[in-house]
Amino acid sequence: MLDPRRLSLLRDVAATGTIAAAAERAGCTAAAASQQLAALERDLGAALLERSARSVRLTEAGRVLADHAGRLLTSLDEAERAVRDVAGLRGGTIRVAAFATAGTSFVVPALTAFRRRHPEIELRFTELESAEALPEVRAGTVDLAVTHEYIPLSRPDLRGLHQRPLYREPMMLAVPRNLSPADPGPADLADFATSPWIAALTSTGFQAATEMACRAAGFDPSVDIRVHSYPMVLSMVGAGFGVALVPRLAAVPQRGVTYLAIRRPTGLIRQIYATTRHTDRSPAVRALFRCINDALARTTSR
């Protein structure tokens, strides 16, 4: 591997015509510069300079290497600036993923704040459910994913990943107005044992989560409708097709829907994480994590 410092000396000899002038640019003595150039010749096994008592000239090999040295050193300078820009949050790209509820409630505001603070960093976002996002983070195609798990359901494969807890949210019971109890206080799931149930996100285990919560209350739910998004769940509830469990962040105002807290804990909660690669120490990822925490705090304090 050629030493960039020696290449820089050769380039400066070509530009200035003397070893002394090249040494002055490098901030060393002429003798030290001459020794470094001789070492470069030994590394390559070729004469690069024609020396005389009063002057020095580049050989043909020296001219070829000096031309290449200029381009190589420019590329090295650009690489160093790019790395320093990324480390200083002045450049680079960060790739983000989040599931829909997190995206609409606090991730989009977090991305907006991040872009305002660090406009030089390119942001790329993909909406992904947690089961899809985890392998993307592991593969390096996503840098930070906001993911969730339903506790106490079994945990996913987290090899090579690092998770930082963001928010632990309880489940709410969404009921249509015609089934809303006179007392809007906390309800027992058992009171809705004979009601039709709606389950969301079957591909990510929410069907199992609904069944677990209902069985803890002493019954097996009759799931008549299965959909893949909370807006659709709430539309079906509002239209009177059944009741559903929804996490607190998904319990947004919806026509025809009443949200009830659950009186007796079911043991079911949704834990939200910021998931990154275990080895990732990117300053941009750390900065985005802070933006996400801030946006989430504002969301949950309302």
pLDDT at 94 over 60: yes
Where is 68: in which H helix or E strand? helix 60-87
Q: What is the pLDDT of residues 70-91, one digit of tens each?
A: 888 778 766 766 676 666 666 6
Last residue of a domain, which of 44, 63, 87?
Answer: 87
pLDDT at 21 over 70: yes
Say whether both 279 and 135 belong to one domain.
Answer: yes
Ranking 34-43, 67-76, 167-176, 244-253 by mean pLDDT, the lowest is 67-76
CATH number at residue 42: 1.10.10.10
Say whether both 152 and 277 belong to one domain.
Answer: yes
- 176 preceded by a cis bond (ω within 30 of 0): no
Last residue of a domain, which of 36, 53, 87?
Answer: 87
Say whether both 57 and 194 belong to one domain.
Answer: no
pLDDT band of residue 211 (cuts 50, 70, 90) is confident
Sign of the alpha-carbon dihedral angle for 145, 151, 155, 159: positive
The number of domains in the chain is 3
- State the pLDDT at residue 81: 63
pLDDT at 51 over 70: yes
Sign of the alpha-carbon dihedral angle for 26, 31, 35, 40: positive
Q: Which residues sit opposite 222 in a β-bridge?
A: 196
Say whether both 229 and 279 belong to one domain.
Answer: no
Where is 125: in which H helix or E strand? strand 122-127
Q: What is the pLDDT of residues 164-198, one digit of tens each?
A: 999 999 889 999 988 777 777 788 899 999 999 99
CA atoms within 13 A on the CB side of 1: 3
Say whether both 36 and 83 belong to one domain.
Answer: yes
- State the pLDDT at residue 144: 96
Residue closest to 101 by CA, chosen among 169, 196, 152, 199:
169
For 29-48, what is the mean pLDDT? 89
Q: What is the mean pLDDT of the chain?
A: 87
d(CA 133, CA 275): 9
pLDDT band of residue 134 (cuts 50, 70, 90) is very high
> How, if at all, do strands 269-277 and 161-176 pair?
antiparallel
Last residue of a domain, which of 87, 115, 134?
Answer: 87
Query: Which positions ≥6 away from 156 have C-beta within 8 Å?
Result: 130, 131, 134, 149
DSSP assignment letter at 278: T
Say whether both 194 and 113 belong to one domain.
Answer: no
CATH number at residue 257: 3.40.190.10
Say whether both 160 and 275 belong to one domain.
Answer: yes
- State the pLDDT at residue 88: 63
Q: How many C-beta neighbours within 10 Å does residue 116 have? A: 9
Residue 74, domain extent = 4-87
- State the pLDDT at residue 137: 94
Q: CA–CA distance from 283 to each of 137, 149, 194 (Å)?
A: 17, 26, 53
Say whether both 156 and 187 belong to one domain.
Answer: no
Say whether both 115 and 186 belong to one domain.
Answer: no
pLDDT at 203 over 60: no
Say whether both 204 and 260 belong to one domain.
Answer: yes
Say whether both 152 and 122 belong to one domain.
Answer: yes
Higher pLDDT, 302 or 32: 32
CA angle 43, 44, 48 (to 5 degrees): 110
Q: How many C-beta neighbours within 10 Å does residue 62 have? A: 24
Say whether both 161 and 23 belong to one domain.
Answer: no
- State the pLDDT at residue 289: 95
